[in-house]
Amino acid sequence: MPSYHATQDTHQDGPESLRLGRLYTLDVIRGFTIISMVLFHMCYDLQFLQGKFLFFFQAPFIDIWRASISWVFLIIAGLSCSLSRNNLYRALRYGLLAFVIWLATTLAAVDAPINFGIIFCIAASTFIAWLIEQTILAKRWHTIQLVACVMLFLLCLPLAAGFVSIGQVKLMLPTGLYQSEWLSWLGFPGPHFVSGDYYPLLPYGLLYMAGAHLGWQWKQLEYPEWLFRYRCDLLEWIGRHPLQIYILHQPIILLLCYAL
């Protein structure tokens, strides 16, 4: 297998310009996932905001579909840490966007406001990744840290419900962790916490960090050849404009729903 080493040319999130070509496959995957996100939100708006019953849009399919979108976004955002010139800049940019989204959804009051949504999770996780870059942890032991992040992510998946689990074994957590609104960002939602899109740092930041360690490992060794191989012009274009589409798609969908 030939060796591929990447260098970044822009501050864009995701697969940036590479000396030997872009990571086209990541663009394609993210483009496909963005289309899936738009369709998911369209179904959500039709059923829960417009009252149009969709027979297929029910649990557990909703949960599986949602996870297939958000988990891919988090992993790719984590992978992008190895391609970014300045992860502190990325973290601040995402943090500002998360605040704007919270403010807009609070003022619009169309649905529950987005408190600590996926953009917040990416912002906080990117800041942590930047801190890790300043230490020896970003330079070695990536396989161990990647496996640890994945295992802890699976362990903490039900954290918001008040417990962690290993298979069928459940470990209930102290109820005091869920009595304050100040820990909602971390993964312990308070009694009055409400959000239309909830992705706290635990467990979802762990999935991001798994992607970050994989990206750092590839950067030190080599990027797999398949990341450069698979192409689709339309999906690549969509995949290179994730933030613009994320910001604009919901207002457009809502306007179309009300107009039609």
Looking at the 3D structure of the chain, how many domains does it have? 1
Residue 84 belongs to what domain range? Answer: 24-259
Tell me which H or E stretch contains 169: strand 169-172
Instruction: State the Cα angle at 63 between 58 and 67, rounded to 5°.
Output: 145
Answer whether residue 18 is part of any domain.
no
Answer whether residue 11 is part of any domain.
no
Q: How far is residue 222's CA from residue 215's CA, in Å, rounded to a whole number?
A: 10
Residues of the chain below pLDDT 70: 1-21
Answer whether residue 226 is part of any domain.
yes
Answer whether residue 224 is part of any domain.
yes
Please count the CA atoms within 13 angstroms of the CA of 128 that sit on its side-chain side. 19
The reported pLDDT for the residue numbered 22 is 79
Query: Helix axis angle, 24-44 relative to 61-79, nearest 10°?
Result: 150
Instruction: State the Cα angle at 55 between 253 and 72, rounded to 5°.
Output: 55
Answer whether residue 65 is part of any domain.
yes
The reported pLDDT for the residue numbered 21 is 63
Answer whether residue 160 is part of any domain.
yes
Per DSSP, the three-state class of 205 is: helix
Per DSSP, the three-state class of 80 is: helix
Answer whether residue 150 is part of any domain.
yes
Q: Is 208 exposed, middle or buried (0-12, 13-18, 19+ CB in 10 A)?
A: buried
- Contact indicator for 211, 149 with CB cutoff of 8 Å: no
